[in-house]
Amino acid sequence: MREILEDTISRLLGDYVTPKLLRDAESGNWCGDLWKLIASHGIPHALVSEIHGGSGLSWPDAYPLIAVSGKCALPLPLPENLLAAWLLDQSGLEVPAGAITIADPAPSVESGAVDAPLRADRSTGTWQLTGRLGHVPWARFADYCVSEVCTADGPQIALFELASLEKQCDLNMAREPRDSVILENHAATAVGFLPATFPPRPLRFYGAMLRSAQAAGAIEALVESSVKYATERVQFGRPIAKFQAIQQQIALLGCDSAASSASARYAFQQAGSVREQMAIAAAKVRVSEAIGRTASIAHAVHGAMGFTYEHLLHFSTRRLWSWRAEFGGGSWWSEVLGAAVCRRGSLWATVTEGTAPLFPE
């Protein structure tokens, strides 16, 4: 099943994610036909258990799906939908049809607060949600959103419809929708508890894991584009790939790509284990560090041509710069890792065992 889905998504995105589609998406259009095609293959529910209509894939199985979407700069919330559907399934909630996005409770996390920005109240017999969510991916186009909510019984996960909600539209650097959503006594579709084995702030953890894999795929695209361009671009009578300075830069680019893929893939392999928190945090830090270097090298290799809108390079680099800051930037995760080491009291034990919780209980 993993091989079938990987082959399917690679062919679909290779055929349909064209420069024209990307430019249409950046103009504000929803790629509805492509989303319907992806959904018809069951890919958005790939992580949902088979008994509930999914493919029952594990996170390691799903890694190629996320990486390929990043490599192709897919202008659709497929990674977000995969995570949202998995969280709902793990919580025992029904996964609805339609596009589902996720909301990272970043404002509360960054300010040091524990509670999610959404409050859920059931005094009227049904769950009512109140609060404001910022930087929600694809909110203007998605049908549903999954977010953490604060209830009288503790943090839970909530699913709610987006169509009728007030939104303040915004874009990230890649011109992907990142909208603010305002809820005022909005009826939730479903609310439930996540398994006790999950890390605190699971949307931030698993969202960071997603962005690491997407970025690793996008960096791989930079390598391929840079090698191709350097081989074809002739300067002073020979391809620039023949110059040692260019060769060295492409070699550094390849090293960062390999390290990013390895760290992101390892995080997916450790998902659900006692090592997942350290693995995810380390992956986000490593990939975030690589993004600055790889984007710089790729643009340097491409020269002035790489800065034009007509060239495809910017579809990858602008996404990399945007994804680097989402679900916690590299510096934020570095501080979290550093604090965990200080609480543990031993860098060696923290690194070798990799099981220290990143947030105090």
Instruction: Kindly list the structural domains of the chain, giving each domain's residue range(s) and its CATH number in brackets, ordered by start.
Output: 1-79 (no CATH), 92-193 (2.40.110.10), 202-353 (1.20.140.10)
pLDDT at position 123 is 82
| pLDDT of the residue at 115 | 46
Q: What tokens does 310 get?
A: 């007509």
Q: How far is CA 324 from CA 47, 205, 254, 316, in A?
A: 24, 14, 19, 12
Residue 56 and residue 49: Cα distance in Å, rounded?
A: 4
User: Buried b vs exposed e over 286-304: b needs ≥16 C-beta within 10 Å?
Assistant: bbbbbbeebbebbbebbee
* Residue given tokens 């998902």 in the structure block: 271
Q: Is the pLDDT of residue 92 over 90?
A: yes
Q: What is the mean pLDDT of residues 213-231?
A: 96
> What is the distance between the terminal CA atoms of the chain, rounded to a whole angstrom?
38
Q: How far is CA 64 from CA 6, 205, 211, 268, in A?
A: 6, 19, 13, 10
For range 93-100, the mean pLDDT: 96
pLDDT tens track for 107-120: 444 434 444 589 99
- The pLDDT mean for the chain works out to 91
Report how far residue 359's alpha carbon sits from residue 361's, in angstroms, rounded to the nearest whole number: 6
- 154: β partners: 151
Its pTM stands at 0.93
CA pair distance 119, 158, nearest whole angstrom: 10
Give the tens place of pLDDT for each residue, 280-289: 999 999 999 9
